[in-house]
Chains A and B, each alone.
Chain A
């Protein structure tokens, strides 16, 4: 178990290293000068050169990357080229909003999609199953930014049930979480549905029913527990997708989270901030995968010790 965990940790470190290198190269391949993006159209050559020296942008790319890597290992992601604030401070200041939004979205994914998946599997080919199938197809196809804008327009602007945008209280998180959640609900409901169908045909389910167990116990204790294993696997992989959705959702609802921070960094060509936010997001995805891996083992005793 420990060897396997160490192996996973090594892979996680390599993933982060690869991510940082790819992002660094992409950020420097953009045919625009970050100094001009910062200093503005009137900056003269001397000012630009002074800035370039100060930010060490005149060093060879390899030197810049190795310096970044060395500092990152010590927990220092550098300073923003634009605002001069420490990148790690900016990230940590924005992380709570992103975390709250992601957990809200995730909660809706799971709380809605699991019962829906079980229910539609139980009532296969009945009206509820067909309606859910249509809704699932629609929600999976809807772009996050469009859905967010529509919910914002109808529920916040026209009906006034929620704040239009910003983060002023916990109610500000409801619409963004629903936006993020709806997009995943359809997909996960279908995933639970198809897994449940497989599981419900297994011998141990027939055995459970033959033993006279109640239907809820059969469905949720014996059926769902097994049907959830593939869902857990996909959930780990979907962390990246969730963070991608967060970028759009935060933009629509003006939430001061990591998505908005990274978007602004890209627009400003603020390389340290781009590197920092992407690396932090990668760290979240890798961590989520590790956690899912551990949870997987807890849920499925068959793979313990494998």
Chain B
């Protein structure tokens, strides 16, 4: 079954019970699940990890959402925006009658406030990275930075200019206009991210720094309990005015439970949902009791070996290509019990710019050996292969790669390091030669992969997301042209050509596109996996016992 059919099949039961039906056949109840770690913040401006993203959806809402087929659909906007001919201006009409959990009606001004707020240093938002293309974002951000620096020094008499973000304006109570500096066909996707979700100014100002623990949004649920490191409870938001009432009365999230413990609790019926650990996947998939409950989803993510093009021996493209030929991707999939599918390129399936006909590097150890010989390494070489502690199956992948590389003479010594140290070291120039790396989409567009991972013009001494420190002028040129292209077909072609060049230079040895496996208790209905949000709790309900 292909992926679209698979998702359609999974979505069918949920669709049958969606808008307007009132979920009459099911009982409301409490859904219980567990997480390994607590949430750092429930302020949408500060959200960046996948699990927090899922919680954001039940507390807040955005202008646009993404459906099961990865198509943009209106959410708090009444309809899709009017777009100007030059693709620089987007006009939204806000849905009427939407209320925050505190009872106040949502207006266009709330979006303006939310977006301007992320440029305030005090908000500590990571969203500025995504919204730099808003008209006037740069001077506005700099002005807020100056305000923050001068705060308390006595030098500041009034706020620095510009005091408003030029590119985001409320034309009236229900109309919002967003303007860009340069056209960007991926821009609307950024509006699905939490950074632009409206927040009520009065609640932010009332709670100050602890607004992150007192969320107040337009979503179907509201937070009514948060015992740090222990549990979170979400009850229904009585002010919610969505197309369908949520099917659950309450969601309870237990904190501090590792995956093995979660699996045992799930099998004993103490949890309703489970993120299946790979070591248990085969057992649970073959168990007749559980196999109908297993759902899988191909993630929009690419896992790869990153080779630092500024460090020996990876300065020579023949060495990098040899690594790509030496690794057997099929074996990685087998060895990790189906952790994903073999990757042919950097842009994963389902993401704009993915080339379904691409044939990547096959497994050819003989050719890898010859290329190493040509590059002056007839006996191979020794190198450290870094990988972080936080992704359990990466250790297994590295072991398979290590065995494959050994066959062609490359002696990779595995070095497992803490996540924070790994992130710091691999992003610093000329520090780590060889590392296991992965990139998950922030939004489903090739720019998020190729532009982030392979744009040589963005190489920095530290905090560089181009972990291979790969710099090819032709690739940079293609990526820059694609970023501002306004024709979809031409844009896709530019990304395809850029990816061709990147794979030929092989700064990365692409390995797999990972899969996510989750399961639910038989009483949980409406459970499908969404390519961007994974679980949408607002669509779930519980069957009567």
Which one, A83, A160, A167, contacts B40 given CB within 8 A? A83
- Known interface pairs A149-B260, A152-B261, A254-B258. Does A40 touch B48 (Cβ–Cβ under 8 Å)? yes
Q: Which residue on chain B has the smallest CB distance to residue A256?
A: B230
Stretch at the interface among B2-10, B124-132, B171-179: B124-132
CA distance A42 to B270 in the complex (A): 36
Chain A residue nearest in CB terms to B230: A256
CA of A42 to CA of B145, assembled, Å: 18
**Would A43 and B256 count as touching, CB distance under 8 A?**
no
Whether, in the assembled complex, B418 has its beta carbon less than 8 Å from a beta carbon of chain A, the answer is yes
> Would B268 and A160 count as touching, CB distance under 8 A?
yes
- From the candidates B124, B264, B420, name the one contacting A37 in the complex (CB within 8 A): B420
Taking the complex as formed, is B209 at the interface, i.e. its CB lies under 8 A from any CB of chain A? yes
Q: Enumerate chain A residues within 8 angstroms of B423, measured Cβ to Cβ.
A: 32, 36, 41
Q: Which residues of B sit under 8 angstroms from A77, Cβ to Cβ?
A: none
Write the nearest CB–CB distance from B455 to chain A, whole angstroms: 15
In Å, the complex CA distance between A282 and B265 comes to 34
B422 CB to closest chain A CB (Å) equals 9
Which residues in window 120-179 of B have CB below 8 A to A?
121-122, 124-130, 141, 145, 148
* B420 & A36 in contact (Cβ 8 Å cutoff): yes
With contacts A149-B260, A157-B264 taken as known, whether A83 is within 8 angstroms of B228 at the C-beta atoms is yes
Residue in A32, A43, A254 whose beta carbon sits within 8 Å of that of B421 in the complex = A32
A30 touches B421 (CB 8 A): yes
Give chain B residues whose Cβ lies under 8 Å from the Cβ of A164: 261, 264-265, 268, 270
At the interface, yes or no: A252 with Cβ under 8 Å from chain B?
yes
Smallest beta-carbon distance A79→chain B, Å: 9
Query: How many residues of chain B get a CB closer than 8 Å to chain A's CBs?
Result: 49
User: CB within 8 A of A256: which of B229, B261, B442?
Assistant: B229
Question: Does any Cβ of B come within 8 Å of A226's Cβ?
Answer: no
Q: Is B96 an interface residue (CB 8 A)?
A: no
Interface string of B417-439 (1 = CB under 8 A from A): 01111011100000000000000
**Minimum CB–CB distance for B255 against chain A, Å:** 8
Closest B residue, CB atoms, query A37: B420
Q: Is the CB–CB distance between B126 and A50 below 8 Å?
A: no
Measured CB to CB, the closest approach of chain A to B294, in angstroms, equals: 19
**Minimal beta-carbon separation of B96 from chain A (angstroms):** 33
Residues of A within 8 A of B126 (CB): 39-44, 47
B114 at the interface (CB under 8 A from A): no
Closest Cβ–Cβ distance, residue A78 to chain B (whole Å): 14
The number of A-B residue pairs with CB atoms under 8 Å apart is 126
User: A150-165: which have CB < 8 Å to B?
Assistant: 152-153, 156-157, 160, 163-165
Say yes or no: is A264 at the interface (Cβ < 8 Å to chain B).
yes
Bound-complex Cα distance A91 to B15 (A): 46
Query: Which of chain A's residues have a CB closer than 8 A to the CB of B256?
Result: 254-256, 260
When the two chains form their complex, are residues A50 and B257 in contact, meaning their CB atoms are under 8 A apart?
no
Per-residue B-contact encoding for A228-257, CB less than 8 Å = 1, 0 else: 000000000000000000000001111110
A32 with B261: CB separation less than 8 A = no
Max count, chain B CB within 10 A of own CB: residue among A93, A157, A255: A157
Which chain B residues border A110 with CB–CB below 8 Å?
Answer: none
Expressed in whole angstroms, the Cα–Cα distance for A39 and B121 within the complex equals: 12
A6: interface (CB < 8 Å): no
Q: A interface, how many residues as a size bin?
A: 35 or more
Q: List B residues 238-267 near A (Cβ within 8 Å).
A: 254-258, 260-261, 264-265, 267
Contact A47:B125 (CB < 8 A) given known A37-B420, A165-B261: yes
Residues of B within 8 A of A264 (CB): 37-38, 229
B265 to A41, Cβ gap below 8 A?
A: no
Contacts of A153 in B (CB 8 A): 264
Return A94 CB to nearest CB of chain B, in Å: 7
B49 within 8 A of A: yes
Question: Measured between C-beta atoms, what is the minimum distance from B458 to chain A in Å?
Answer: 12
CA distance A252 to B256 in the complex (A): 9
Q: How far is the CA of A152 from the CA of B260 in the complex (A)?
A: 11
Report chain B residues within 8 Å CB of A156: 264, 268
Bound-state CA distance A54–B126 (Å) is 16
Bound Cα distance A45, B132 (Å): 13
Cα-based distance from A41 to B390 in the complex (angstroms):
15
Determine if A90 is an interface residue (Cβ-Cβ < 8 Å).
yes
Q: Bound complex: CA of A82 vs CA of B46, how far in Å?
A: 11
Q: Quick one: CB contact mask for B212-226 with A, threshold 8 Å, 1 for yes?
A: 110000000000000
For B122, the chain A residues whose CB sits under 8 A away are 50, 54
User: How far is it, in angstroms, between the C-alpha of A156 and the C-alpha of B210 when the chains are bound?
Assistant: 38
Let me know if B344 is at the binding interface, CB within 8 A. Answer: no
| Complex-state Cα separation, A49 to B127, whole angstroms | 15
List the B side residues contacting A44 at CB < 8 Å.
Answer: 126, 128-129
B543 contacts partner chain A, Cβ-Cβ < 8 Å: no
| Interchain CA distance A48-B267 in the complex, whole Å | 43
Whether A32 lies near B40 (C-beta < 8 A) is no
Say whether A260 contacts B124, CB under 8 Å.
no
- Within 8 Å of chain A (Cβ to Cβ): is B465? yes
CA distance A21 to B284 in the complex (A): 49
A33 within 8 A of B: yes
The answer, among B145, B228, B254, for a CB contact under 8 Å with A50, is B145
Min Cβ gap B463→A in Å is: 7
Chain A's nearest CB lies how many Å from the CB of B160?
Answer: 14
B99 to chain A, nearest CB (A): 28
Interface flag for A125 (CB, 8 Å): no
B257–A39 CB distance below 8 A: no
| A84 contact from B121, B209, B424, Cβ within 8 A | B209
Q: Is the CB of B265 within 8 A of A165?
A: yes
Chain A to chain B contacts (Cβ below 8 Å), 10 pairs: A32-B420, A42-B129, A43-B129, A46-B141, A47-B121, A50-B124, A149-B260, A254-B254, A254-B261, A256-B255
Known: A32-B423, A83-B213, A164-B261. 9 other contacts (CB 8 A): A36-B420, A37-B420, A42-B130, A44-B128, A50-B124, A82-B40, A83-B40, A153-B264, A267-B418
Interface positions of A (Cβ within 8 A of B) = 30-34, 36-47, 49-51, 53-54, 82-85, 90, 93-94, 149, 152-153, 156-157, 160, 163-167, 251-256, 260-261, 264, 267-269
